[in-house]
Amino acid sequence: MKTLTVDEKIKADSLGRSMVKYGLAVGAVVLILSIVLGGTEHDHFQRFQYGALTAWMFVFTLCLGSLFIVMIHHLVRAKWDTVLLRVAENVASAFPLVAALGLIVFAPMFLGNHHLYFWDSWHQLPKDLQHDEAFKILQKKGTWLSSSAFILRYALYMAIYSGMSLYFSRQSRKEDETGDKKIAERLRVVAGPMVLLYALTTVMAGFDLTMSLSPEWYSSIYSVNLFGGAMCGTWAFLTLLTRAIQRTGKLTNVVTREHYHDTGKWVFSWNFFWAYTAFSPLLLIWYSNIPEEVVWYRYRWAGTDWQALTYVVIFAVWIFPYVALLSRWTKRILPLLMAVCFEQLLAHYIDLYWNVMPNVNWGHREDGLTTGPLTGPFTQHAWHFAASDLLSLIAFFALFLAAVGTRMKGNLVPIKNRTLNASMAFENY
């Protein structure tokens, strides 16, 4: 059984302050630059809004996955990952600041800009469309898909996520201070209903935030697939973040190759879960060939510029990491594991980009009336990667690291957790 030694560096010290300082500096400058470049587009900042939504969803899902890891750790009384628990708590408890970042994307809805969600502008459509089947669908969803209802639900989602993440983080730090053994049991009991609330909230949030970009399309498994991608990206991110912390001289003997081996296993397993939940709706929707369902895939695959990116998503998110992590030794040779995790983190963004950005080009009828995303000729949906997309990703990720840095205080491991010593001694067989 291993124990913490007096010379082991487990304090965050200036690490968090450095993340805040550099993250804010880079994030603020690059965000301003991305907004300026977005203003050069001829679509009322629509391109910037979609790029910003993709970037925000990227950091949001990393928080989302970290919160799930924390809850499941307590629910199943896990031991092996106790050394990683505080790092996951720090990422998850950045939720309040990540929620505030989301206002950059969603606040324009209340300032008269209706170019992000097509349903936000459906009430402006001419009355002569009342017999059009497509717009009848939008009208039926009008109560749920309205800007005021959307923002209220957004606030509710973020309040739930923030409340849960801060509760687990504060209780964990309280255990460090008091050594109260009842805290661990209390967190286990609370984790059960919180996981159920988390599941319901995540399904609804996935529908609202990204699936409603195509308001006529629907899939009951969409949010499950979004969650699977979030877990792939989160395990990759936590692996890279933990390794980066170790490179500063901290946790050098606490987190070992054995723990990295298991984080590699989790990247591998969630990678396959993502592939299953991505292929299942495609198979069902494609062979049923129902127009309002299959349209989502047609504009991403059948003869459009997005077809090439679809193959990139399949290879980058599933095939490459699956083959790379199939070997035991790939997960134990740290430089290789870090390379795969970096690729998987980037692939997670590409997956979100593939989900969001095809909706940016809205189709038009012959009389000039806008018909919304995934409508009109394929030629109206050409793919190109704008500079503002990349800058938005850099800006939001830098600001996200700053948000995590605000939580990076005190101990980097839960020193009074009764499973810490067992976790430090963990071995793979």
Q: How many CB atoms sit inside 10 A of residue 326's CB?
A: 10
Dihedral pair phi/psi, residue 4, rounded to 5°: -65, 135
Specify if 235 maps to a domain: yes
Which stretches within 39-110 are classed as H helix? Answer: 46-75, 82-92, 95-106
Q: What is the pLDDT of residue 46?
A: 85
Q: What is the pLDDT of residue 41?
A: 64
Number of domains in the chain: 1
Specify if 7 maps to a domain: no
Specify if 10 maps to a domain: no
Specify if 1 maps to a domain: no
Specify if 367 maps to a domain: yes
Query: Domain range for residue 133?
Result: 15-424
Q: What is the pLDDT of residue 71?
A: 98
52 Cβ contact list (under 8 Å, min separation 6): 34, 104, 105, 392, 396
Specify if 191 maps to a domain: yes
Specify if 2 maps to a domain: no
Q: What is the pLDDT of residue 115?
A: 85
Residues of the chain falling short of pLDDT 50:
none
Specify if 326 maps to a domain: yes
How much is the pTM? 0.95
Q: What is the pLDDT of residue 120?
A: 83
Q: What is the pLDDT of residue 63?
A: 98
